[in-house]
Structure formats: C-alpha cells, structure tokens
Amino acid sequence: MGQPKRKQSKRRSRLRRGANQSLSAPLLAKDKDGAVFQPHRVNPTTGTYRGRQVLKVEM
C-alpha cells in the first residue's frame, strides 16, 4: 500500500472531518395540548415533564 509523501496538516484534516457536521434544526415534540417543545426536557409553556407538573408556570 502506498504511503503519503507529505504529512497532512492539522487544518486540512479538521476541514475534512468537519465537512460532515452540518447544522440541523432541533427535534421537536408535541404534547396533548399541541404545545411544541424539545423532547426529554421540561415543556416551558406548561411546566410538565412526562405528564407530571414539575415547574410552576405563571401566565
């Protein structure tokens, strides 16, 4: 197997590896009321997590 003639620079390696890390929109979940929030987190509009009231939310 052939060997590279020159060492690949850190910058070039990082650019190649980072090319696959594109930004994506966060995943969102809906509860029974139709409120949208991030999964595995407390719902900021209602203050519930997995059907239980966790935070007091003042409206």
pLDDT digit string, tens, across residues 3-44: 999 999 999 999 999 998 888 888 999 888 888 999 999 998
Residue 51: the pLDDT is: 86
Residue 22: the pLDDT is: 85
Count of structural domains, the chain:
1
Reported pTM:
0.54
The alpha carbon of 5 is separated from its chain's Cα centroid by a whole number of angstroms, namely 39
**Where do we find the tokens 């595995």?**
40
Q: Is residue 41 part of a domain?
A: yes
Q: Is residue 46 part of a domain?
A: yes
* Domain encompassing residue 41: 28-59
Q: How many contiguous H segments (helices) and E segments (strands) does the chain have?
A: 1, 4
Q: Is residue 15 part of a domain?
A: no
Q: How far apart are CA 42 and CA 33, in angstroms?
A: 14
Residue 23: the pLDDT is: 84
For the segment 46-59, what is each residue's pLDDT rounded down to a tens digit? 899 988 999 998 87
